Chain A
Amino acid sequence: DVKVTQSSRYLVKRTGEKVFLECVQDMDHENMFWYRQDPGLGLRLIYFSYDVKMKEKGDIPEGYSVSREKKERFSLILESASTNQTSMYLCASSTTREGETQYFGPGTRLLVL
């Protein structure tokens, strides 16, 4: 079974703090993704990576950066957290061998005060 884990289930941060969200997958997947889910807006892609040290912007990259130093690990960084970044953050991974099916982690609910 594919397992995608996220470092925290719930997180509370203050405006202006630097926030790190970490994601680890154990299936040697090439591709990893960060989404945010907000009510009425569905899942929106922030960044994705198709290889170590490679990254591409998704639909809403502003205010975020990412890091992929190892194949199994993909980090999302909020450089200076703002209240409009309060959201559910979801990490996913996929393999090119299996096509487009993405496997998701449990999510991190982030509250920025």
Chain B
Amino acid sequence: DQQVKQNSPSLSVQEGRISILNCDYTNSMFDYFLWYKKYPAEGPTFLISISSIKDKNEDGRFTVFLNKSAKHLSLHIVPSQPGDSAVYFCAASAIRSSGGSNYKLTFGKGTLLTVNP
């Protein structure tokens, strides 16, 4: 059962335009969400995160939006650059029932973003 879903395996956008990557989740216990970027033959690098107490977090060209009622989050990249071409993973974490984070992340399958010059 896939708890974190990235339904678009790939996305292609023009340089300078907005890239929107989507992620849906099913586990209502998830309370912290992260986006990672991965280039081929490298490990994923942390990009941006958001806690469930917020609905938006911004860092430079990257903004993450969280809609808890829809169990949906999205990553916006504005403006998109060719160097942004990579696989983007959405990840989520749930609080243990006894309190505190369980430190485990559940990842989506990733979306390959291609930004064309």
Q: Are A104 and B44 closer than 8 Å at their CB atoms? A: yes
Q: Are B41 and A43 closer than 8 Å at their CB atoms? A: no
Residue total for A at the interface (Cβ-Cβ under 8 A):
29
Q: Are B34 and A106 closer than 8 Å at their CB atoms? A: no
Q: Are A101 and B41 closer than 8 Å at their CB atoms? A: no
- Of the candidate stretches B53-61, B67-75, B102-110, the one touching chain A is B102-110
- Is B65's beta carbon under 8 Å from chain A? no
Given A94-B103, A102-B105, also A42-B89 (CB < 8 A): yes
Q: Are B107 and A43 closer than 8 Å at their CB atoms? A: yes
- Is B45's beta carbon under 8 Å from chain A? yes
Q: Which residues of A contact B32 (CB under 8 A)?
A: 99-100
Q: Which residues of A contact B105 (CB under 8 A)?
A: 45, 100, 102
Binding site for B on A (CB under 8 A): 4, 9, 31, 33, 35, 40-45, 48, 50, 58, 90-92, 94, 96, 99-107, 109
Given A4-B43, A100-B93, A105-B43, also A48-B49 (CB < 8 A): no
Q: Are A31 and B41 closer than 8 Å at their CB atoms? A: no
Contact bitstring B17-40, A, C-beta under 8 A = 1, else 0: 000000000000000101010000
